[in-house]
Copies of this chain bind each other. A is one copy, B any other.
Amino acid sequence: MPIRYNFEKKINELHKDLIKMGTLIEQSLDDAIQALIKQDVSLAKKVIDKDDEIDNMELRIEKECLLLIVTQQPIATDLRDIASVLKIITDLERIGDHCTDISEYTIRLANEQYIKPLIHIPQMAEAVKSMIKDTIDSCVKKDIDLARSVCQRDDTIDDYFDEIVNELMSLMVEKSSVVKQCTDFLFIVKYLERMGDHATNIAEWIIFTVTGEHI
């Protein structure tokens, strides 16, 4: 089997694992938000339990990457390609951690009546999820335009963040009895905003890998 063919086959396998890891994390984010909306403690616990699977997946992909570098001694673009996978899995794993962080707040809040129905938080989470999906796609397809669009969409996440934080502050000013619950929601929204940052990190890294251009 020609060496080049073998290498490309292995890179393809790596990309498949990356897609699997991305899908796991999108699912975790979906579950974390559903659990939060429905105050579903058992679903929140499921998200926390699933984090081990994501952590193991990161370790496995990392091992594959290092083995590939050692055995194939890739240079230039190939090496940058593998290095970008190493970066991406670290950010993905952190997104997984934040799904767990949100679920811990869901469990804390389980016996409290929410001040108001959650509307913007699920919308923000949906926007974050589509960023995560597109970063993985842009990595696998080397689609720089898609990666750039992810970076731009981080502004939308920041707008959601500012809007929700302002709303929570107004609620706290109006009624001191809701301070504790609003504080929990402030941190939940902060975790969502961090997830947007992680997706942006990944996208910027992909742009750097393909074009050499630093954002």
Contact = CB atoms under 8 A, between A and B. Distances in A.
A158 to B, nearest CB: 12
30 contacts: A62-B83, A66-B69, A66-B79, A66-B83, A69-B69, A69-B70, A70-B73, A70-B74, A70-B75, A70-B79, A73-B73, A86-B86, A87-B90, A90-B90, A165-B183, A168-B183, A169-B179, A169-B180, A169-B183, A172-B176, A172-B183, A173-B176, A173-B179, A174-B176, A176-B176, A183-B186, A186-B186, A186-B187, A187-B190, A190-B190
Contacts of A70: 69, 73-75, 79
A191 B131 CA distance: 23
Q: Which 4 A-B pairs have the closest CB atoms?
A: A173-B176, A172-B179, A69-B69, A173-B179
Interface in A30-89: 62, 66, 69-70, 73-75, 79, 83, 86-87
Nearest to A90: B90
Contacts of A176: 172-174, 176
The interface size bin for chain A is 20 to 34
A172 B177 CA distance: 10
Contacts of A180: 169
A66 to B, nearest CB: 6
A164 to B, nearest CB: 12
A184 B174 CA distance: 18
A209 to B, nearest CB: 12
A173 B62 CA distance: 47
A124 to B, nearest CB: 16
Contacts of A74: 70
Nearest to A94: B94
A74 B180 CA distance: 52
A90 B91 CA distance: 10
A69 B69 CA distance: 7
Contacts of A69: 66, 69-70
